Amino acid sequence: MSQTSTETGPVLSHFGVFCRDLDAMVAFYSGVFGMKVTDRGEGHTMPFTIAFMSGSPRQHHQLALASGRGANDPSTVMQISFKVKDLDALRESRRRAEAAGATNLRGLNHGNALSIYFSDIEDNTVEVYLDTPWYVAQPHGDPLDLGRPDGEIWAETERICRADPTFMTVEEWQRKFEEA
């Protein structure tokens, strides 16, 4: 397969969020996602404390949490997304988020992904998702009930996708992306 310009261009690596209570946010992301603090300190050119966190030994940080968000400042984060491998991992993420104090939990079936959304303890929107083998144009969102058996969820997702006029397999979408 030939390499396209997008494969050699910049790749999103990590995400930074200003926090009201840095220690509470570190505990939240450690507890829900098993992330570890890889470094922590005062910025030399930035006047706040930064906690660098990762869930992978191959990446120094995937999330940088920084002090400096005012007590009344609203979140400006549209969403922070974490990918999981299967429905059981999605269910476990929901359970951990709820136990850690997340609010506004909801499930959405995007056709191309099965997702849960919630607000972290500082009202930033977090998504946990897994990919499906199908594509439909986005935004797309049907309710997702993770209390149902896996087979029912997958059958309903495929039915919803195939009924959408923009349906194609992920492989077809990837080929079109590479050709564009």
- Give the residue carrying structure tokens 């039915």: 159
**pLDDT for 22-58, tens place per residue?**
999 999 999 999 999 999 999 888 889 999 999 999 9
Q: Among 70, 94, 114, give the residue marking a domain's end.
A: 70
> Which pLDDT does position 2 carry in this prediction?
42
Is the peptide bond preceding residue 139 cis, with omega within 30 degrees of 0? Answer: yes
- Give the residue carrying structure tokens 């991992």: 89
User: Does residue 149 lie within any of the structural domains?
Assistant: yes
The Cα–Cα gap between 131 and 29 comes to 22
pLDDT grade for 1, boundaries at 50, 70 and 90: very low
Do both 133 and 49 map to the same domain?
Answer: no
Do both 92 and 55 map to the same domain?
Answer: no
The Cα–Cα gap between 154 and 86 comes to 11
CATH number reported for the structural domain that contains residue 37 in this entry: 3.10.180.10
DSSP 21: S
The Cα–Cα gap between 48 and 15 comes to 16
User: Does residue 2 lie within any of the structural domains?
Assistant: no
The three-state secondary structure class of 101 is coil
User: Does residue 66 lie within any of the structural domains?
Assistant: yes
Number of structural domains (the chain) is: 2
The upper half-sphere exposure of residue 33, i.e. CA atoms within 13 Å in the direction of its Cβ, equals 24
Residue 35: give the domain boundaries: 12-70
pLDDT of 179 over the 80 cut: yes
Do both 103 and 173 map to the same domain?
Answer: yes
**pLDDT for 125-147, tens place per residue?**
999 999 999 999 999 999 999 99
**pLDDT for 151-170, tens place per residue?**
999 999 999 999 999 999 99
> Which pLDDT does position 4 carry in this prediction?
45
pLDDT of 7 over the 70 cut: no
Average pLDDT estimate for 75-83 = 94
> Which pLDDT does position 150 carry in this prediction?
98
Do both 116 and 83 map to the same domain?
Answer: yes
Do both 22 and 57 map to the same domain?
Answer: yes
> Which pLDDT does position 9 carry in this prediction?
67
